[in-house]
Amino acid sequence: MAKLGRPGLTDAQKAELWDRWQRGEFQSEIARVLGKFPASIFGVLRLHGGIRPATRRRSSVTLTLGERESISRGLAAGRSLRDIARELGRAPSTISREVSRHGGRRKYRATRADEVAWDDATRPKPCALAQNSALHDTVAMKLAEDWSPQQIAGWLKRTYPDEPAMQVSHETIYRSLYIQARGVLRKELQKHLRTKRVFRQSRHGNLGKMRSSIKDAVSIAERPPEVEDRAVPGHWEGDLIAGSGNTHIATLVERQSRFTMLIKVGARDTQTVVTALAQQIQTLPDALRQSLTWDRGSELAAHKRLSMETNMEIYFCDPSSPWQRGTNENTNRLLRQYFPKKTNLGRYTQDHLNHIALKLNQRPRKTLRYLSPAEHFNQCVATTG
């Protein structure tokens, strides 16, 4: 069973996850780039409170794997611990503790001993709030009074100028709230924070960026019921697939038929994306241009122009809720067969994209009773035409 926050990511993927999160990218974008489900990305962020964990490094004074292998060989050869210590330039007591801690002379194994030592080193160090009960109680009381961590830190510095033990940074308070593995401040105190967030956001503000870049966005909650139950054709979901080198492809999927259109975009800025979308959507019959649902990416900041040029209603998902465009998300996963992650998407022409979309649209779907999306969509065109 997978553990929370450990969705099979490599060290390189974890580093990229945190790099992108700190730049303010959305969880759904990070998931697409890494080829993971958004829930996996959320699990990592939640586990660490949205705060990037410090890079782990071995202390210069600890035994290395090479030294442990020398110990193992020395024990196998029957050498004394003092002799092994002399060869390694270590104190005999260091070698004695190492061997005793990891199975003794007969069971000592270098690789296993090194793994255990590395795991033991992950024990969290107690923070200031855990070591000072008076400070802890004061911070908890002020949080319960709806003070922000920054207000608390500033007040403590002013109130106890000559008592460093009664001072703490606002970052330490946030970490103690969001990283529950510390067990310092009760999780219930999070509800007193103004944002009500479950973990710390990037200082580059993906939520703030969403609010500022999507002006007058109409929420998905206002979308008509017939869109949700797929009763009427002509309602679309859209998104960008990300590739290497900051390259993207726009995808549009019709909810009822699952018919897919792929659109080449030269850049991710809103003017470029909206222009490309409008040109493609205008090729559709008027009756099949009912609505478009998108996520909160800034590429659709100019949604009013898109709505005016296509005569479509534009709706936006809630923040960090890609499952609200489930049809589009499922289609994007199918498209990874043709566009593996880290592919440079800028090299594909529109003709090539049309060819790939045709292949996808001609595949029968179980959800359509084994009609293909193209067959179902053509029926829609004939009916509305």
* pLDDT recorded at residue 212: 42
DSSP-based three-state secondary structure for 334: helix
Amino acid (one-letter) located at 347? R
Per-residue pLDDT of 219-234, as tens digits, reads: 888 888 888 888 889 9
Q: Are 115 and 128 found together in one domain?
A: no
In whole angstroms, how large is the CA radius of gyration of the chain? Answer: 28
Q: Are 140 and 189 found together in one domain?
A: yes
Q: What percent of the chain is predicted at pLDDT more than 70?
A: 85
Q: Are 345 and 271 found together in one domain?
A: yes
Q: Are 237 and 158 found together in one domain?
A: no
Q: Are 77 and 184 found together in one domain?
A: no
Per-residue pLDDT of 12-54, as tens digits, reads: 888 888 888 878 777 777 888 888 887 788 878 877 777 777 7
Q: Are 231 and 352 found together in one domain?
A: yes
Segments forming the whole domain that contains residue 4: 1-50
Q: Are 16 and 159 found together in one domain?
A: no
- Could you give the CA distance from residue 144 to residue 129 in angstroms, rounded to a whole number? 16
User: Pick from 83, 102, 120: which residue ends a domain?
Assistant: 120
Q: Are 23 and 99 found together in one domain?
A: no
**Of the given ranges (130-139, 254-263, 359-368), which has the lowest mean pLDDT?**
130-139
DSSP-based three-state secondary structure for 248: strand
- Could you give the CA distance from residue 283 to residue 370 in angstroms, rounded to a whole number? 27
Residue 341 lies in a domain: yes
Residue 225 lies in a domain: yes
User: Pick from 93, 120, 147: which residue ends a domain?
Assistant: 120
Q: What distances in angstroms separate CA 74 from CA 18, 63, 114, 115, 296, one per listed residue? A: 42, 15, 16, 20, 62
- pLDDT band at residue 7 under the 50/70/90 scheme: very low
* pLDDT recorded at residue 354: 95
Q: What is the DSSP string of 41-102?
A: HHHHHHHTTT-PPPPP---TTSPPHHHHHHHHHHHHTT--HHHHHHHHT--HHHHHHHHHHT
Which of 118-127, 164-173, 193-202 has the highest average model confidence (pLDDT)? 164-173
* pLDDT recorded at residue 126: 64
Residue 260 lies in a domain: yes
Residue 204 lies in a domain: no
Per-residue pLDDT of 291-315, as tens digits, reads: 999 988 889 999 999 999 999 999 9
Number of domains present in the structure of the chain: 4
- Predicted structure pTM score: 0.48
- Could you give the CA distance from residue 352 to residue 350 in angstroms, rounded to a whole number? 5
Per-residue pLDDT of 181-209, as tens digits, reads: 455 666 666 666 655 555 555 555 444 44
Residue 214 lies in a domain: no
* pLDDT recorded at residue 4: 44
Domain holding 348: CATH number?
Answer: 3.30.420.10
Residue 205 lies in a domain: no
Residue 55 lies in a domain: no
Q: Are 272 and 376 found together in one domain?
A: yes
* pLDDT recorded at residue 3: 43
* pLDDT recorded at residue 256: 93
Strands of 235-242's sheet in order across: 260-265, 248-254, 235-242, 291-294, 313-316
Q: Are 45 and 72 found together in one domain?
A: no
Phi, psi of 127 (to 5 degrees): -90, 175
- Could you give the CA distance from residue 256 to residue 87 in angstroms, rounded to a whole number? 74
* pLDDT recorded at residue 203: 53
* pLDDT recorded at residue 196: 52
Q: Are 155 and 92 found together in one domain?
A: no
* pLDDT recorded at residue 361: 93
Q: Are 93 and 188 found together in one domain?
A: no
* pLDDT recorded at residue 139: 85
Q: Which residues neighbour 373 within 8 Å (Cβ) at sequence distance 6 or greater? A: 254, 257, 258, 259, 260, 360, 361, 362, 363, 365
Residue 110 lies in a domain: yes
